């Protein structure tokens, strides 16, 4: 009897131990499910704590428009109800689990209120967020009551299906109209749909670990083995070959309408090269504002710009200016004062939401499917968004190889990218510097390809993870994988230096031939590249006298950190990215410093490194930190106007109303466009404005 009792007792202990282990496993799974349901809340909280300027602008825009907040609330509410239904079916729906389910909606609402202020559109979320837990508490349903697995399966399938249907609906709508629909919905609602669906799927995966493991394994397989999303660039057969900078200068200069004015003043003709720094939408707005304002106030400015080199957002701004610029040249005339009303519609449109919709909705689906179902990635959608925002953007369709028109007042535009395979530059430009270490596109290879100038600018702005690298087919049997030009050098100054040095090298070769008495087969008009704007130019015969000017549109400047750089904290995850971003700025600063030393700077100051040079380097500089500008693809009219005001002060154009010395950098630049100041006997003359005896 004792033996039987001991055996029965041992069996009871085993059963009790098995039940205990089972209860622990169930509790652990429930705890994990609760954490999964609340995980999207951490994403909202992290965004609120970091509070990047781009996120705050998205919040403020959503609150101002109202409907994006309502749609975001609806998406997060559906996610909370779906999670609660899964908890309810398993008998674990209580006050605290309901709080976990509704936490994404609650945290997102509080964060929107804190970052953007109170708005009527927040009222539904404010009422619903605490309403769900209160309803659960009043229902008093919070005990563990196992239910048939088939019923739980059905409830889970309905919950996941509802969220996936919502996700798929937004995805299909954004696929049907990749620009208008995402802009209407707004970035906040797109993010809410994605996070709500993610939370419900993670919660379901906890309750169904086998299915969750299969889905996770397939995702890893798709990410590392299957073909990635299609990142190829739309190309066309190349019909024009790039032109060397010397040949381009000869063609271009001979057709300048104000050339005779500089001949009569015995001045070298100012040839302006622009470098526009990268930085997303604020860099695009900066470049566009500087070039458009100078063109509006100075009748001949744009016809003095031979090439505008841009990186990332700067390249986009250059392309937008090129498309809107008046192609007709003007006779010589000074700059005039006045207020400039810039058309910034293409810059203040929401370019972020189309990118988010393509990245979070469509490309997420595409990454799970074998093959390539989407022919236009988010980098291409960004280009399409800018193209759709231009009222008259036919010039944006011009191919890179055909974008240089020697008879036009529009400057040629060049976009800098980084070749992922070599780490070097690939410059998309109709004008090339043959002696440069960069690779130039397009090339007249067998089966050579070409792209339009906006596509080229968009390719220069491929900075992960918002926009991925691009696949460019340069010829039928040759391709390149290209990333943001800022990986190599973010200012664009290195490419401008290459072009200017190309002209100096052409001058050196011609001078050497002259010394060696090498008689060319055909007469050549000698190029004289002046280093000092005060050099008297003898325009005898067909000789060419130019003075290259570098206009740098930048936020970096040439000043390095002082002896007390800002303190930073180490992070295993963020250190590689932060190092990359810091190096991007440092290399841009170094390139600008080299350009300043080569061309010399403002006010005719003596350059220690190059005492023969003067007045060939000018900057328009703004501070994104002081203006609180976002690093992204969405700004409002307020930020665009602040950029324009800070980029170029309006008083620089009123110099002729006084004979006082000009103080600003751009004020000295526009003196080069007023040839009358350089004429003998002018009163006031150039020296008065420069404060020189």
Residue 242 to residue 254: CA distance in whole angstroms: 19
What mean pLDDT is predicted for residues 26-55? 84
Which pLDDT band holds residue 619 (cuts at 50, 70, 90)? very high
> pLDDT at residue 363 above 80?
yes
Higher pLDDT, 1 or 61: 61
Residue 229: per-residue pLDDT: 76
Any domain includes 567: no
79 and 211 share a domain? yes
Are 287 and 176 in the same domain? no
Residue 345 lies in a domain: no
Give the mean pLDDT of 54-73.
95
Instruction: Tell me the pLDDT band of 565, cut-offs 50, 70 and 90.
Output: low
Burial of 406 (0-12, 13-18, 19+ CB in 10 A): middle
Say yes or no: 444 and 491 in one domain. yes
Instruction: Name which of 300, 499, 296, 297 is nearest 413 in CA terms.
Output: 499
Indicate whether 114 pLDDT > 80: yes
Average pLDDT estimate for 462-485: 90
292 and 191: one domain?
Answer: no
Residue 667 lies in a domain: yes
Number of domains the chain contains:
2
Q: Which two tokens stand for residue 5?
A: 């009792």
pLDDT of residue 19: 47
Span 630-671, pLDDT tens digits: 989 999 999 999 999 999 888 889 888 887 888 888 888 999
Residues 220 and 294 both lie in one domain: no
Residue 483 lies in a domain: yes
Is the same domain home to 204 and 330?
Answer: no
Average pLDDT on 188-195 reads: 96
**pLDDT digits 0-9 by tens, 208-256:** 888 888 888 888 887 777 766 788 999 999 888 889 999 999 999 999 9
Residue 212 domain-assigned (yes or no): yes
Show the CA angle centred on residue 359, arms to residues 354 and 364, nearest 5°.
140
Residue 523: the pLDDT is 65
Domain shared by 301 and 191, yes or no: no
Q: What is the mean pLDDT of residues 488-505?
A: 94
216 and 254 co-located in one domain: no
At 2 the pLDDT is 58
Indicate whether 165 belongs to any domain: yes
Residue 507 lies in a domain: yes
Q: Which domain holds residue 415?
A: 246-337+389-557+573-693
In a domain, 562, yes or no: no
Q: Which residue has the higher pLDDT, 541 or 416?
A: 416
Domain-ending residue, one of 224, 255, 279: 224
The CATH number of the domain holding residue 651 is: 3.40.1090
pLDDT tens per residue, range 504-532:
998 888 887 777 766 666 667 889 999 88
With beta carbons less than 8 A apart as the criterion, state whether 493 and 588 touch: yes
Domain match, 195 and 50 both: yes
Confidence of residue 122 (pLDDT cuts 50, 70, 90): very high
Domain identity same for 538 and 647: yes
pLDDT at 186 exceeding the cut of 90: yes
Q: Where does a domain end: 175, 191, 224?
A: 224
Quickly tell me which residue has 């003067």 as its tokens: 614
If asked whether residues 266 and 165 sit together in one domain, one would say no
> Is residue 271 located within the same domain as residue 195?
no
Q: Where does a domain end: 167, 193, 224?
A: 224
Phi-psi region of 541 (alpha: psi -120 to 50; beta: other; left: phi over 0): left
Q: What does the pLDDT read at residue 435?
A: 77
What is the rounded distance in angstroms from the CA atom of residue 312 to the CA atom of residue 581?
A: 14
Which one has a higher pLDDT value, 303 or 136? 303
Q: How far apart are CA 610 and CA 585, in angstroms?
A: 25
């Amino acid at each position: 009897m004792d033996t039987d009792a001991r055996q029965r007792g041992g069996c009871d202990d085993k059963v009790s131990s098995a039940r205990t282990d089972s209860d622990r496993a169930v509790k652990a799974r429930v705890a994990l499910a609760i954490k999964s349901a609340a995980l999207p809340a951490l994403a909202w909280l992290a965004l609120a704590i970091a509070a990047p300027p781009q996120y705050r602008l998205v919040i403020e825009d959503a609150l101002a428009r109202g409907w994006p907040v309502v749609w975001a609330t609806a998406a997060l509410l559906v996610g909370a109800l779906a999670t609660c239904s899964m908890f309810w079916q398993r008998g674990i729906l209580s006050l605290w689990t309901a709080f976990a389910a509704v936490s994404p909606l609650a945290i997102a609402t509080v964060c929107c209120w804190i970052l953007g202020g109170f708005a009527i559109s927040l009222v539904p979320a404010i009422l619903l967020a605490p309403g769900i837990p209160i309803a659960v508490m009043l229902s008093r349903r919070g005990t563990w009551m196992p239910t048939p697995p088939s019923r739980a399966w059905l409830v889970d399938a309905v919950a996941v299906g509802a969220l996936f249907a919502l996700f798929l609906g937004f995805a299909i709508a954004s696929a049907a109209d990749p620009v208008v629909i995402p802009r209407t919905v707004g970035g906040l609602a797109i993010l809410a749909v994605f996070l709500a669906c993610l939370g419900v799927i993670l919660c379901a995966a906890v309750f169904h670990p086998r299915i969750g493991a299969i889905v996770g394994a397939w995702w890893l397989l798709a990410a590392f083995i299957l073909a990635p999303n299609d990142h190829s660039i739309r190309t066309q057969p190349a019909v024009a070959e790039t032109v060397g900078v010397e040949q381009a200068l000869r063609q271009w200069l001979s057709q300048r309408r104000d050339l005779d004015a500089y001949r009569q003043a015995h001045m070298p003709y100012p040839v302006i090269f622009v470098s526009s720094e990268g930085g997303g939408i604020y860099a695009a707005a900066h470049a566009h504002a500087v070039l458009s304002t100078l063109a509006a106030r100075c009748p001949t400015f744009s016809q003095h710009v031979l090439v505008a080199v841009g990186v990332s957002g700067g390249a986009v701004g250059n392309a937008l200016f090129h498309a809107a610029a008046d192609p007709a040249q003007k006779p010589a005339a000074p700059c005039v004062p006045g207020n400039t009303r810039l058309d910034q519609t293409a810059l203040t449109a929401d370019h972020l939401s189309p990118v988010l919709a393509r990245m979070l909705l469509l490309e997420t689906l595409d990454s799970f499917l074998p093959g390539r179902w989407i022919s236009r990635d988010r980098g291409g959608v960004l280009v399409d968004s800018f193209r759709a925002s231009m009222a008259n953007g036919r010039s944006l369709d011009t191919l890179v190889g055909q974008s240089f028109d020697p008879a036009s007042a529009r400057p040629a535009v060049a976009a800098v990218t980084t070749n992922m395979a070599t780490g070097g530059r690939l410059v998309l430009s109709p004008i090339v510097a043959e002696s440069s270490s960069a690779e130039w596109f397009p090339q007249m290879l067998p089966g050579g390809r070409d792209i339009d100038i906006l596509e080229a600018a968009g390719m220069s702005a491929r900075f992960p993870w918002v926009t991925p690298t691009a696949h460019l087919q340069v010829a039928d049997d040759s391709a390149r994988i290209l990333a943001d030009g800022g990986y190599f050098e973010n200012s664009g100054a290195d490419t401008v230096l290459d072009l200017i040095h190309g002209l100096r090298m052409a001058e050196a070769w011609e001078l050497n031939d002259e010394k060696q008495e090498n008689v060319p087969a055909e007469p050549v008009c000698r190029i004289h590249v002046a280093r000092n704007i005060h050099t008297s130019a003898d325009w005898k015969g067909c000789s060419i006298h130019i003075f290259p000017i570098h206009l740098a549109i930048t936020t970096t400047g040439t000043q390095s950190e002082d002896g007390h750089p800002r303190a930073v904290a180490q992070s295993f995850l963020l250190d590689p990215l932060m190092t990359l971003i810091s190096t991007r700025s440092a290399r841009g600063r170094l390139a600008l410093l080299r350009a300043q030393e080569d061309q010399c700077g403002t006010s005719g100051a003596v350059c220690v490194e190059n005492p023969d040079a003067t007045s060939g380097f000018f900057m328009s500089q703004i501070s994104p930190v002081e203006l609180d500008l976002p690093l992204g693809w969405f700004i409002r009219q307020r930020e665009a106007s602040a950029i324009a005001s800070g980029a170029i002060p309006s008083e620089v154009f009123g110099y002729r109303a006084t004979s006082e010395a000009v103080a600003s950098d751009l004020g000295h630049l526009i003196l080069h466009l007023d040839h009358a100041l350089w004429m003998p006997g002018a009163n006031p003359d150039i020296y008065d404005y420069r404060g020189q005896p």
